[in-house]
Structure 1
Amino acid sequence: MNRFACPVYLAFFLVLSITSAQAQDSTVPKLIWKVNRINMGTVLEEQGLQHAEFEFTHTQDSLFYIQDIWLECGCTTVEYTKDTLQVGESGKVLVTFDPTTSAGFFSKLIVVKGNVGGVQDSLYLEGISIPYPTDVKRAYPIIRGPLGLRLRKVNMGDVFDNEPKIKYLEFFNQGDALLDKGAFRSETPPYIQISQVQQFVRPQERGLLMVRYDGKLKNDLGFFEDVVPIRWENVEGSEIRLEVIADLFEYFAPIQKSDLNNVPQLFITQKEIDLKEISPKAVVRRTVTLTNQGRQVLEIRKVEGNCDCLLIEAPKDILEPGESMELSLTFDPIGRKGIDQRNIYVFSNDPVNPVQLIVMKSRVE
C-alpha cells in the first residue's frame, strides 16, 4: 500500500468533515426574527418620525448580546435590547425613520451584528415617503367634496387571489371641518374595504385612506371598476364617490422546470389577427384555435374582450391533453372609423402563461 495514501485520505476526510459541519452550522439560524422586512406603507412628511419594531428570539446554547447595528443612512436611528440573552429569550430592535429625508419609495438596510459567530442579520424598512407639496392646488387638482385628490381614480393595479392588495389614497382636507376617523363611513362590496388611517385630519392638512381589495372574495378575473360611496357622518356635504379600478389575476405558485411538461399548456395558433381595411357597415367573423399541449386538463377560466363591439363564443371550457377547439370572434365596427385595435384576453389554469392576449387589428373605412 502506498505510504502516502492514508495521510492524504485522512486530510481529505478532515477537510470534507469540517466543510460539511460548517455548511450544516450555517443553515441553523442563530436568531429567529418574527419578520425581517417591514413595509410602513405611505408616510406623509408632516406625520413626523415613524417607528418600526423588529423582534427576535435567541436559539443557541451560548449567551448572546447585540454587539453593533449598522445603518444605511442618517435617515434612521435605532434602539435595541442591550441585555445578555439566554437561549429562548427574546429581544427587540426599534428603528425610527425620518420621512423628511426621503421622497418616493425607500428601502433602508439595517445590519445586526451579534457576539455569536455568524450573526450578521439584515433587516429592511420599506415604504413610500411623500413630501409636503409647495403648491397644494396644483398637487391636488381633483376636487371631491371636502377632499382634494391627485388622481380621479384609485388604481389598485394587479390584484392576485392569494392575498389582498392594499393601497393608500392620499388626500388634502380643503374643507373647514375636522375629518374624524370614527365618523368615516363607506358603502363597499365585500371584497373592498376602505378606512381612514389617521384619527383626525384637520382642515388644510393631508390624510390617508387605506383601500384593501380582496381578489379571492371578488372571485373573478380581468379588469373591474367599482364606484364606492364614502362620507363623514358629522360633515355636511362630505358624500363623495371613489372610483376603484383593478386587474384581477389567479395566483400560481412557481413550478419546477422538470414539471413544465406535466402541467396544462395553452397554445393559441394566431395571437394577432389583421383584418386590414373593413367597412363600418359589415360585421366581421374570425376563428382562433386553442390547443392544450400539456399533460393535464386545461381549464379556460374566462375569455374577455375590451369592448362591447366584440362577441366571443367558446364551445367548451375544458380541454383534455392534446385536444383543440375553435374560439369564435365577431367584431361589429358600426360607428367606428380609422385605425382600430381590439384585445381579447384568455384566462386559463396554465401556470406558466395564465393570461394570453389575442389582438385584432383593422382599419375602418
Structure 2
Amino acid sequence: MKLLTQTIILTLFFTLLQFSSQAQSLEPPKIIWKVNRVDLGTILEEQGNQEVAFEFTNSQDSLFFIEDIWLECGCTTVEFSKDTLAKGQSGKVRVGFDPTSAFGFFSKLIVVKGNLSGVQDSLFLEGTSIPYPTDPLRAYPVKNGDLGFRLKKINMGEVFDNEPKIKYVEFFNFGAQDLEKGAFRSETPSYIWVEQVQNLVRPQERGLLMIRYESANRNGDLGFFEDQVPVFWENIEGSRINLEIIADLFEYFPPVLKNEVDDLPQLFIQQKEIDLKEISSKSTVRRTVTLTNRGRKVLEIRKIQGNCECLIIESPKDQLNPGESIELSLTFDPIGRKGIDQRNIYIFTNDPINPVQLVVLKSRID
C-alpha cells in the first residue's frame, strides 16, 4: 500500500512537471534575438580578430538589462549593452574571436543571463580557422596562373534547389602584384557568382574567393555538373584563369508525415545491382531494369544520368501511374576498357522519400 501511494505521488509530480514545462514552452520569449547563430565561414589566421554583433529586442513590459555573459573559452571576448531597456528597445552583444586560438572548425557558446526570470539565452559563433602555412608551395600545390590552390577543382558538394550554396575557397598569391577586390571580374553563368573577399591580397599573402551556387537558376536540371568559370583582375595583364567548379544538384523535398507516405509516389527498382560477370571488350551488352510506381500518385522521372558516355539509357516514358511498371533499357559499350568495372546509373524522381536511387552495373572486362 505504501509503495502504491509513493507511485501515485511520483506520477502526479512528473505530470505536473510536464504541464509546467509545456506551459513555459508556450510562453513568448522575453528577449527576441535577430539571430542566435552566426557562421563566420572560412577565416585565415592573418585576418586577425573577428567581431560580430548579436542584436536583441526587449518584448516584455518589464525593464530588462543583461546581468552577466558566460563565455566558453578565452578565445572569445564580449562587450554588451549595459543600459536598462524598456519594451521595444534594442541592444547588442558584440563577440570577438581570435582565429589563432584554434584551427579547423569551431563552434563557440555564449550564454546571456538577464535580470528577468527565465532569460538565459544561448548564442553560437561558428566557422573554420585556417593557419598560415609554413611552406606555401607545399600547402598550395595546384598552380593556376600566379595563384596557388589546395585542389584542382572546387567541389560545391550537394546543392539543393531551395537555397543557394556558398563556399569559401582559399588561394595563395605567388605573383608580384597586389590583387584588388575592385578590379576582380568573373564571367559566370546565371547560377554561379564569384567574388574576392578581401579588399587587397598582396604578394605572398592568402586570399579568399566566395563561390555562390544557385541551382534553382539551372531550370530544374539535376545531377552532376562541371563548369569552367573564367576570372581575372582587369588591371593585371595575363591574370585570367579558369576555375573548375563541380556540384551535385538535387531537388529539395520538405519532410513528410508518416501517415502521408502511402499517398505519395514511390519508386521501386526490382534489381539495383546487375552483375554482368565476365564480358568481352569487343561487344556491347544490353540489360533491362524494371521500375515500378508503388505509390498512389503519379511518379515523374525527372532525369536519368549515367557516369560514363559508354552507357546508353533509354526509358519508354517519364511518368508512371500508380501501380504501373516500365522497362529501362541499358546498353553498355566496354570498348577500350579492361579489368573490374563499375558503372553507376542515377534515377531522379519526385518520390520525396527516395528522390535519387542508384543502379549499379558491374562487370569484369577481358
TM-score by length of 1: 0.94
The superposition leaves residues 281-320 of structure 1 with CA deviations (integer Å, 9 ceiling, x where unpaired) of 1111111111111111111100010000000001111111
Query: Structure 2 matches for 1:1-365, cutoff 5 A?
Result: 20=19, 23-27=22-26, 28-218=28-218, 219-365=220-366
Would you say how many aligned residue pairs link Structure 1 and Structure 2? 354
Report the CA distance shift for 1:17/1:143 in structure 2 as closer, same or farther (over 3 A): closer
Report the CA distance shift for 1:337/1:133 in structure 2 as closer, same or farther (over 3 A): same
Aligned mates of 1:90, 1:229 — CA distance in 2: 45
Secondary structure at the aligned position of 2:277 is classed as strand
Aligned residue type for 1:340: D
Aligned mates of 1:158, 1:14 — CA distance in 2: 48
Secondary structure at the aligned position of 2:262 is classed as coil
Aligned mates of 1:242, 1:15 — CA distance in 2: 60
The RMSD of aligned alpha carbons is 1.7
The superposition leaves residues 60-81 of structure 1 with CA deviations (integer Å, 9 ceiling, x where unpaired) of 1211111111111111011111
- Cα offset for 1:17? 8.2
- Cα offset for 1:191? 0.3
Aligned mates of 1:176, 1:242 — CA distance in 2: 21
Secondary structure at the aligned position of 1:101 is classed as coil
- Cα offset for 1:20? 4.3
- Cα offset for 1:88? 1.3
Aligned mates of 1:311, 1:212 — CA distance in 2: 33
> Does the 8 Å contact 1:160/1:248 carry over to 2?
yes
- Cα offset for 1:273? 0.1
Aligned mates of 2:78, 2:348 — CA distance in 1: 47
Aligned residue type for 1:278: I
Secondary structure at the aligned position of 1:275 is classed as strand
Aligned mates of 1:105, 1:200 — CA distance in 2: 25
- Cα offset for 1:279? 1.1
> Does the 8 Å contact 1:71/1:109 carry over to 2?
yes
Aligned residue type for 1:309: C
Gaps of 5+ in 1: 1-11
- Cα offset for 1:209? 0.6
> Does the 8 Å contact 1:26/1:118 carry over to 2?
no
Report the CA distance shift for 1:13/1:167 in structure 2 as closer, same or farther (over 3 A): closer
Aligned residue type for 1:23: Q
The superposition leaves residues 248-283 of structure 1 with CA deviations (integer Å, 9 ceiling, x where unpaired) of 011111111121111111100000000001111111
Aligned residue type for 1:315: P
Report the CA distance shift for 1:21/1:362 in structure 2 as closer, same or farther (over 3 A): closer
TM-score by length of 2: 0.94
Aligned mates of 1:51, 1:297 — CA distance in 2: 52
- Cα offset for 1:25? 3.4
Aligned residue type for 2:320: L
The superposition leaves residues 4-34 of structure 1 with CA deviations (integer Å, 9 ceiling, x where unpaired) of xxxxxxxx99998896466333332111111
Aligned mates of 1:133, 1:58 — CA distance in 2: 45
Aligned residue type for 1:106: F
Secondary structure at the aligned position of 1:261 is classed as helix
The superposition leaves residues 66-101 of structure 1 with CA deviations (integer Å, 9 ceiling, x where unpaired) of 111111111101111111111111111111000001
Report the CA distance shift for 1:62/1:239 in structure 2 as closer, same or farther (over 3 A): same
Secondary structure at the aligned position of 1:69 is classed as strand
Gaps of 5+ in 2: 1-10
Aligned residue type for 1:175: G
Report the CA distance shift for 1:13/1:284 in structure 2 as closer, same or farther (over 3 A): closer
Aligned mates of 2:207, 2:332 — CA distance in 1: 46
Aligned residue type for 2:244: E
> Does the 8 Å contact 1:99/1:129 carry over to 2?
yes
The superposition leaves residues 128-160 of structure 1 with CA deviations (integer Å, 9 ceiling, x where unpaired) of 100101111100111111211111111101111
The superposition leaves residues 309-364 of structure 1 with CA deviations (integer Å, 9 ceiling, x where unpaired) of 00000111111111111111010111111111000000001111110000000111
Equivalent residue number for residue 4 of structure 1: none
Secondary structure at the aligned position of 1:195 is classed as strand
Secondary structure at the aligned position of 1:253 is classed as coil
Aligned residue type for 2:301: I
Aligned mates of 2:272, 2:19 — CA distance in 1: 52
139-148 or 19-28: bigger deviation: 19-28
Aligned mates of 2:14, 2:325 — CA distance in 1: 58
